[in-house]
Structure 1
Amino acid sequence: MAKPGKKRVRAASGAEARSRNEEPGEGGVDEAVTFIAEQVGALRKLAERHKLDVLHYLLGMTKLEADEHLRLRSKRKLS
């Protein structure tokens, strides 16, 4: 039960929630994942060059996850 004098805050719909969480000039989810995939790829090469095996592996898994996310999103958009 709400306390007297306080109004309940209604949860925002999906579009409203997304727009408040994004900084001005940011793209959407796809652009963010693309950017992450590119940066992780560069970091993975750096980790490999310095023989940081665990970081190389983890960054590779992150790259795979980002690529998979993009693949599934583009597949849904085609449907």
Structure 2
Amino acid sequence: MAKPGRKRARDAARAQARSRNEEPGEGGADEAVAFIAEQVASLRKLAERHELGVLHYLLGMTKLEAEEHLRLRSKRKLS
């Protein structure tokens, strides 16, 4: 039978290991999607500047998908 304090120590060690794997500023799915939408917009401009049509199109679709995700999440939070 394990000592009662060992379980708490094990749980604390796991939580600390998880926090070390997370990047600073990771605030959840909404923050990640907003960041992705912002970065994709920059990449899309770059693709357009270099006349990379298919990449420009795909990055545009990615941006729309991210914005739609944010719109739906905020709509659900309001209800």
User: What is the TM-score normalised by the length of structure 1?
Assistant: 0.71
Structure 2: give runs of 5+ residues left out of the alignment: 1-17
Q: Deviation per CA, 1:12-35: give whole Å up to 9, x if none.
A: xxxxxxxx5971531110000000
- Separation in 2, partners of 1:42, 1:56: 11
User: What is the TM-score normalised by the length of structure 2?
Assistant: 0.71
- Separation in 2, partners of 1:52, 1:71: 28
45-54 or 23-32, which moves further after superposition? Answer: 23-32
Structure 1: give runs of 5+ residues left out of the alignment: 1-19
Q: How many residue pairs get matched?
A: 60
- Separation in 1, partners of 2:69, 2:23: 23
Give the C-alpha shift of residue 78 in structure 1.
0.3
Runs of 4+ aligned residues of structure 1 deviating over 3 Å after TM superposition are: none
**Structure having the larger proportion of residues in helix:** 2
Larger Rg, first or second structure (1 or 2): 2
Residue 22 of structure 2: aligned partner: 23
Residue identity (%): 82
Aligned-CA RMSD value: 1.7
